[in-house]
Amino acid sequence: MGVEIERKYLVRGNAWKEGATGVAYRQGYLSSHRERTVRIRTAGDKGYLTIKGITTGAARPEYEYEIPYGEAVEMLATLCEKPVIEKVRYKIPFAGLLWEVDEFGGENQGLVIAEVELTDEAQSVTLPPWAGAEVTADTRYYNANLFKHPYSKWG
């Protein structure tokens, strides 16, 4: 079984953008239940199907498969719940780990989240200077919730 262990942080300022190059992502959900999510995603010119289980702590089961890009685009347009999540993902190495910074667009414009994948929940993490409050346990920041309750409507 695949397992994803990640921690999430809000991002402060724009210093993280220095030298970073992003890739456009679009993703939608075929299933967005708390117990399981089934996601279709395009990342640049690639398509993916991802199935995730319920999160316990910072870990959850995850299975991801590359699918034809054209089929991913078609499923996003015709089968996925709306609205589709739009973001640009930047990969930034820091202190021996690869951070993924997501700058959201569309109805989540203004939200910037950094994620770091770990090999163990107890793994020590040195935070980059632009990492703010940890939001790993705050379900509002899960992508599967952001399309239902967009950041722009949090008030």
Q: Where in the chain are the domains?
A: 3-153
Q: Do the beta carbons of residue 64 and residue 80 sit within 8 Å?
A: no
Distance CA(120)–CA(100), nearest Å, equals 18
129: left (phi over 0), alpha (psi -120 to 50) or beta: alpha
Full-model pTM: 0.91
Is 90 among the catalytic positions?
Answer: no
Q: What is the mean pLDDT of the chain?
A: 94
Which two structure tokens, joined as six digits, stand for 76? Answer: 């996003």
Does residue 14 have a pLDDT over 80? Answer: yes
Give the CATH superfamily of 3-153.
Hypothetical Protein Pfu-838710-001 (2.40.320.10)
Q: What amino acid occupies position 146?
A: L
Do the beta carbons of residue 93 and residue 77 sit within 8 Å? no
Catalytic residue among 29, 48, 63, 65: 29
pLDDT confidence bin for 3, thresholds 50/70/90: confident
